[in-house]
Amino acid sequence: MLDIAGLVVIGTYDDDTTQTESITVENITGFDSTAVAATQTLTITVGTCTTTYDISIDKADGLPLTGVIADDTTNTISGMALGMEYSVDSGVTWTEFDPTVSPNLPDLTGTLSLMIRYAESPTHKVGAITVFNFTPLNAILPIGYETQVQTDMGVTASILSTTAIQSKATLAEALLKKAVPTYAEITGDELVFLQSACIAQLCALLCPGMSNRVKVAQQDETLYSFKIQSTNWDRKKREFESMVSNYISLAIGQEVTVFSLVGVVFNDRLEI
């Protein structure tokens, strides 16, 4: 849009008198803002008289980023559109967002600072950057750990729901972090052992409430439910606690003191 604020046109008449003319955008032709131009000549017409003046066309300020929403819990981001771009290396490199390509975003399940902005276009400068921070849902537990817990406990989701498992995940990780303060430095096969230790710890925390869970589920289950109800969950808890110690020892290469809610378990032996 042409802004003529401050434009003054003075007309000189045959009797040598002058006056300031009233000018609107309808008096001006030759304006084109669809592309940048170092010089563009505009023509002003007043009655039968014309004059010209030169302007330059610069890019408009970058578009503000709106409608983009990040969810760190589900590791998703929505609202991105054509014309946007993102960076995962603090703005060193930028990748054009293409809504026709899948996947069109980096993995958001880990620790990541995702910068998003509108890219520079023929008519607009680059937009302001908005940063969306993503963090791992769990520091130790792997993605999909809930299914592994159900498998290790020998039950289905009808008895032990994902929500019930997740309710103890934070406590399980806290106990592992206390036992292994260097957990964040562990990688490779040792990390697999540490993750297995955390899953076993989670199973141990869930065992005390399993009898009641099975009783509630009996309305929908038959032989399966009765079989699970006969499980000695106190013994299973001790088995899982022993597994925690063994897996941690494999992860860090030495015996450790494992903390539990009822005290300290030091390489507890499996009951026979």
With tokens 């940063």, the residue in question is 131
Q: What is the chain's mean pLDDT, rounded?
A: 86
Chain centre to alpha carbon of residue 73: 8
pLDDT band at 101 (very low <50, low <70, confident <90, very high): confident
Check residues 267 and 144 and name the one with the higher pLDDT: 144
Average pLDDT over residues 97-121: 90
- Look at residue 272 in the predicted model and tell me its pLDDT: 35
pLDDT tens by residue, 117-174: 999 998 899 999 999 998 777 889 998 899 999 999 999 898 899 999 999 998 999 9
What stretches of the chain adopt beta strand conformation (E)? 9-12, 18-21, 28-29, 37-46, 49-57, 69-71, 76-78, 84-87, 95-96, 112-118, 130-134, 258-260, 263-265
pLDDT tens by residue, 22-59: 999 999 999 988 888 889 999 999 988 999 989 888 88
- Look at residue 258 in the predicted model and tell me its pLDDT: 58
Q: Which helix (H) or strand (E) holds 154?
A: none
Q: What domains are defined for the chain?
A: 9-57 (2.60.40.3630), 69-134 (2.60.40), 145-265 (no CATH)
Q: Is the pLDDT of residue 271 over 50?
A: no
| Polymer length of the chain | 272
* Closest of 212, 234, 235, 237 to residue 225, by C-alpha: 212
Check residues 69 and 267 and name the one with the higher pLDDT: 69
Chain centre to alpha carbon of residue 54: 48
Average pLDDT over residues 104-125: 90
Average pLDDT over residues 198-211: 94
What's at 54, amino acid-wise? D
* Closest of 115, 145, 119, 151 to residue 133, by C-alpha: 115
DSSP state of 102: S
- Look at residue 241 in the predicted model and tell me its pLDDT: 94
DSSP state of 185: G
Average pLDDT over residues 5-29: 91
What's at 219, amino acid-wise? Q
Q: What are phi and psi of 105, to 5 degrees?
A: -140, 160
- Look at residue 19 in the predicted model and tell me its pLDDT: 92
pLDDT tens by residue, 66-94: 999 999 878 899 999 999 999 999 999 99
Q: Going by DSSP bridges, is the β-strand pair 9-12/258-260 parallel, antiparallel, or unpaired?
A: unpaired
Cα–Cα distances in angstroms (integers) from residue 245 to residues 111, 232, 235, 257, in the given order = 28, 21, 16, 8
Lowest mean pLDDT among 80-84, 134-138, 186-190, 258-262: 258-262
How far is it, in rounded angstroms, from Cα 191 to Cα 140? 8
Report how many helices (DSSP H) and strands (DSSP E) the chain contains, helices first.
Answer: 7, 13
